[in-house]
Amino acid sequence: MVESETAAVKRASIGAKRNPASQNAILDAAEAILNEEGLAGFSIEAVARRARAGKPTIYRWWPTKTALLLDVYQRFKNTRPFPDTGSLEGDLKAFLNNQLIGFWQDRLCGTVFRSIIAEAQGDDDAAQALFAYERGRRKFAEQIIERAKARGEVSAEFNGAVVIELLAGFAWHRLLTGRLNNSDEDIDAVVAMIMAAAKNGLRS
């Protein structure tokens, strides 16, 4: 049986929808534009041109510019090893330094994330994409506390979710109020505060 052209095209189109190579080509193009032209030069149109893809193809995978930006941002972040220093204090400092504040100081990462957060405040699709991403990162980071519990560094009752959100909130606040620089001393103070709370929990 000879496959009709329509069927073949339809199949190819469905295939393209799930083709990681094409997705990566688009993400590569998006990343290159960000690196070369900054956020101001970033648009679905520019990415389509550079990736030699149709705009509809891009919109099929990323409903908004913010969703595409968030995926590029995640690729940047995934190049950073997640902290596992062997101590709670070391992990919390590395989390703030490498995953949050220090990461945002690197190239455009902070600028991109600020603009994603801003976009999410007025656009429901952008908000859902950011909230899902952020929830996932927070859950992932809670491993820091789980490991500390396994080592007996903190009690089983220690509220890991709240600690991670306090640290993330502190870092977001620094990013959004333009105060990423000169955070080192305050990062130490934040971590010292959490460590003091953790020690108190073990004693009581």
AA letter at 75 = R
15-to-4, 11, 21, 46, 50 alpha-carbon distances in Å: 16, 6, 11, 24, 22
Which of residues 53 and 175 has its CB atom nearest to its own copies in the complex?
A: 175
Please name which of 112, 98, 143, 105 lies closest in space to residue 35, comparing C-alpha atoms.
112
Which of residues 19 and 64 has its CB atom nearest to its own copies in the complex?
A: 64
Taking the complex as a whole, the smallest distance from the CB of residue 97 to its own copies amounts, in Å, to 16
Taking the complex as a whole, the smallest distance from the CB of residue 107 to its own copies amounts, in Å, to 17
Distance, C-alpha 84 to centroid of its chain: 18
Taking the complex as a whole, the smallest distance from the CB of residue 165 to its own copies amounts, in Å, to 6
Binding site for its own copies (CB under 8 A): 114-115, 117-122, 127, 130-131, 134-135, 159, 161-163, 165-166, 168-174, 176-178, 186, 189-190, 192-194, 196-197, 199-201, 203-204
Taking the complex as a whole, the smallest distance from the CB of residue 174 to its own copies amounts, in Å, to 8
Which of residues 58 and 198 has its CB atom nearest to its own copies in the complex?
A: 198
76-to-83, 103, 107, 111, 160 alpha-carbon distances in Å: 16, 9, 10, 13, 26
Which of residues 9 and 192 has its CB atom nearest to its own copies in the complex?
A: 192
